[in-house]
Amino acid sequence: MMRAASPHAVDAEALLPPGDAALRAAMLGWREALARERRMAANTVEAYERDLRQFLAYRAARFGTPTIAGLIALKPRDLRAFMAARRAEGIGGRSLMRMLAGLRSFARFLEREGHGSVAALGAVRSPKVERRLPRPLPVPAALAMTAPGTRPDDSREPWVLARDAAVIALLYGSGLRISEALGLAARDAPVPGIDEVRVTGKGGKVRAVPVLPAVAEAVAAYLSLCPHPLDPEGPLFVGVKGGPLSPRVVQYAVAALRGALGLPESATPHALRHSFATHLLARQGELRAIQELLGHASLSTTQIYTKVDAARLMSAFEDAHPRARRLPEPRREKTSGPPDGTDSEQSPSSRAGYVVRSSVPSERRNA
């Protein structure tokens, strides 16, 4: 007697990516290469694979089962049609740019494996995307968030408060990402007497970052209160049950600080890293040194902070310089002469460029 299929049964075929067996095997090899050889972050690998699946599903719905030969024979119009369809679904330029990056990565893998070149990808330009400026915190706000006495939630255990304070101190004091701070091993704890610590950043790259005395003291305070025995090879920061600390817990702690201090929604853990770089640059920090401290592969990534500083300087200029303030529009008269009561210097000064509010609109909005 045959059993009826369960309504909750999962179709195993539906879980596989669109394409024939050869294409699926190539996708599996590509994913392993991204993780093993290029050492990409797991989230990046997942995003690239998801974008490729969406493209293959689009092709399958219109032209049947995708194949490697079909990808090699793609025309630029095929890719533009897919991008237009994604645009119509509300997908933004950044996501489309990442999608093209993922497709190009897979195309390079196919070419390396001897399948041929996907020439169409070289003929399609990435969409133009306005680069968002980082949103650092003002110095007083950053100092308030990392001050040992700032305790927005006294109901939690003292060691938990000390742990969160130590992580937040590392984010601003050493410019670490959350993943880098939580990736520190207990044996590498930056305690007093240690002036630098080695962290593993994106792509598995290891770099040395400075440890300020205040940061070392915050870490030492956490270690003295932590009730869990820490394995020297295990994580430095642990949760309430002794397991690895989740990044979500750090985000919650920063959100609590943000509410207690009345800071905007942009005051996130990553904003502390932005603040580290911006405040160093504002105090004549050397750009190349800041690049090394942040672990940026390209100097152009670090140079974005110079635009933040320029926007801040222009904002200060507009607020302080008497002739930088927007002048009221004079009421136009029907006569051809100048309006009565108008300062004879106002029009020339406007023509000479003293009214500067309109000169940097995009940076002002994004700073």
Please identify which residue in the block is written with the tokens 């995307």. Answer: 129
Active site residue 177: yes
Residues 119, 75 contacting (CB under 8 angstroms): no
Query: pLDDT per residue over 108-161, tens digit each?
Result: 999 999 999 998 888 888 776 656 655 777 778 888 888 877 776 667 888 999
**Under the phi-then-psi rule, with left for phi > 0, alpha for psi from -120 to 50, and beta for the rest, what region is 12?**
alpha
Secondary structure letter of residue 125 according to DSSP:
P
Higher pLDDT, 222 or 138: 222
- What's the pLDDT at 275? 78
Identify which of 254, 163, 161, 166 has the alpha carbon closest to the alpha carbon of residue 212: 166
Query: pLDDT per residue over 41-56, tens digit each?
Result: 788 889 899 999 999 9
Name the 3-class secondary structure at 72: helix
What is the C-alpha separation between 313 and 305, in angstroms, rounded?
12
Handedness of CA 39, 172, 156, 229 (dihedral sign): positive
The residue from 270, 307, 312, 325 that is catalytic is 270
- What's the pLDDT at 74? 92
Residues 174, 209 contacting (CB under 8 angstroms): yes
Tokens in use for 87?
């645009």
- What's the pLDDT at 295? 59
Q: What is the mean pLDDT of residues 221-229?
A: 93
pLDDT bucket at 355, cuts 50 / 70 / 90:
very low
* Neighbouring-strand partners of residue 197: 209
- What's the pLDDT at 294? 63
Tokens in use for 2?
């045959």
Tokens in use for 341?
């009561």
Active site residue 270: yes
Residues 313, 341 contacting (CB under 8 angstroms): no
The model's pTM is 0.53
- What's the pLDDT at 270? 79
pLDDT bucket at 105, cuts 50 / 70 / 90:
very high
The residue from 177, 258, 274, 279 that is catalytic is 177
- What's the pLDDT at 180? 86
The residue from 31, 273, 274, 279 that is catalytic is 273
Active site residue 326: no
Neighbouring C-beta atoms of residue 116, cutoff 10 Å: 14
The residue from 202, 312, 325, 364 that is catalytic is 202
CA–CA–CA angle 143, 147, 148 (5° rounding)? 170
The residue from 98, 207, 296, 323 that is catalytic is 296
Higher pLDDT, 180 or 275: 180
